[in-house]
Chains A and B, each alone.
Chain A
């Protein structure tokens, strides 16, 4: 008897778990020939809300980890991704890439994770400063993670776009909720499995699949979200996001012309975008004068 192939159920990733969308909705994903490959969760605003709760819960632990440890975990994600190259490769091909570009996309994704793993314990030193001030204070500024970042990932790239969007955010100690590509969602769900098996605490990265037109206003209006990064080109959505952001003064970053495959799509400045600068004035003795200040 011929064996029936077991098809994978593509679910979303919230707080280290793989639930189906609470709404029960889905959309069929078709290949070039028009055959249905999989049913994908059409996430609702309540899934987003649950994901934000998970991200908020994970923020304290993740942001207070040693930078070196975050680096180890990012490197671990790269290792796990490397080990599952074949699966990502075949999914990318199923979603319409040629074998060559698919191969490139997977290796570049691994390399990008390693790149940001390297930056984890270095960006603070580069972005910090000791500031000259006129009074008797030791004055220094240093970056701290912004909080929860809601990400609307690139539409045209299934894996590389996702990695490019997520890596700098978590390298900087933030937690995030990501909306994956709607037309190419397969790798997002498989990437969630990689994250889940790589020492990354649940809730640090939460991945939803679904429709940006439906969700972008909730991504930008939620009061517990501290920043939104947007990787698509829809001018109307960008306007809405900027308007909604005024509610709690979210940081908004629109990367609408990032060349994902080039080196320009990876930079410590992408980590810097989701950081807040904290400046400390520490009183010291009057060092400028000839005699003691007391």
Chain B
């Protein structure tokens, strides 16, 4: 028999102290991570990346190329991990799945009329089913921000729950598009709705709206995950996406995860970076640490 979870009233989620969040975030960026711990951290970052291509101009060729990169980040340096997953549109899932056969890299698909989420429930569900039937291991859905901002929280909750059902065994990541939610209070509320509705991951942004992932927003979401974990005992993953393009910033995020949720979340099962240009910067840093020489993007494959 499963444990019963009593749903909270989402109108009464705790208010977020914005000044406190910003001060706390500033502290994370002052940690000094050098030498072997830096090397270890950088490899962990690589292993947490969802290598992403979500453009109107995506083709099978582009996706195949990215999948190759996902499994062979930089073969010049031996012992590098692969990325965690590739993230593509539903129509590209089959291509990605075939290209990644025999590797441990997972395939994530965006769905629910990504990135705007402006479509009917039926279309969103069939969009999700299409991705899962084609072999997606993970589904990245977007919430209906319009309904959320109207205060129609039940609608948002039900939608997430229905998509979760459509996902079957695939893990569900719920994208809030925090750049459109305007306040940290809203981010906190959206986090709780998504987690109680069954999200396996909560994710900041689509990458199509600026600002995308920022440290304050991510911290608010991490704290929501922590509080939810204390209440229910269920772990939920976190995925900041968009705007994290340097190895240094990525390490700051790891520090934040460690100091907010603890070491249990420091694996790619519970933490991901949604990024396209981050991988190369991390690779350049790793190459710098191994050779002692500053690197150039000219010598790293584009993804």
Contact = CB atoms under 8 A, between A and B. Distances in A.
Interface stretch (B41-49, B77-85, B294-302): B294-302
B293 interface: yes
A32 to B, nearest CB: 38
A134 to B, nearest CB: 34
Interface residues of B, number: 7
Contacts of A52: 294
Identify the interface centre among B293, B296, B298: most chain A CB within 10 Å of its CB. B296
A216 to B, nearest CB: 14
A226 B294 CA distance: 13
A203 to B, nearest CB: 16
A193 interface: no
A256 B294 CA distance: 27
A247 interface: yes
Interface in B278-303: 293-299
A49 B294 contact: yes
Nearest to A46: B294
A196 interface: no
Interface residue range, chain A: 10 to 19
Interface in A181-224: 218, 221-224
A248 interface: yes
Contacts of B298: 223-224, 248
Interface in A223-248: 223-224, 247-248
A222 B294 CA distance: 5
B295 A224 contact: yes
Identify the interface centre among A52, A218, A221, A223: most chain B CB within 10 Å of its CB. A223
A114 B21 CA distance: 54
Nearest to B299: A223
Contacts of A222: 293-294, 296
B293 A224 contact: no
A214 to B, nearest CB: 15
A41 B41 CA distance: 32
Contacts of A45: 294
Interface string A144-181: 00000000000000000000000000000000000000
A244 to B, nearest CB: 9
Contacts of B293: 221-223, 247
24 contacts: A45-B294, A49-B294, A52-B294, A218-B294, A221-B293, A221-B294, A222-B293, A222-B294, A222-B296, A223-B293, A223-B294, A223-B295, A223-B296, A223-B298, A223-B299, A224-B294, A224-B295, A224-B296, A224-B297, A224-B298, A247-B293, A248-B296, A248-B298, A248-B299
Given A223-B294, A224-B298, 16 more contacts: A45-B294, A221-B294, A222-B293, A222-B294, A222-B296, A223-B293, A223-B295, A223-B296, A223-B299, A224-B294, A224-B296, A224-B297, A247-B293, A248-B296, A248-B298, A248-B299
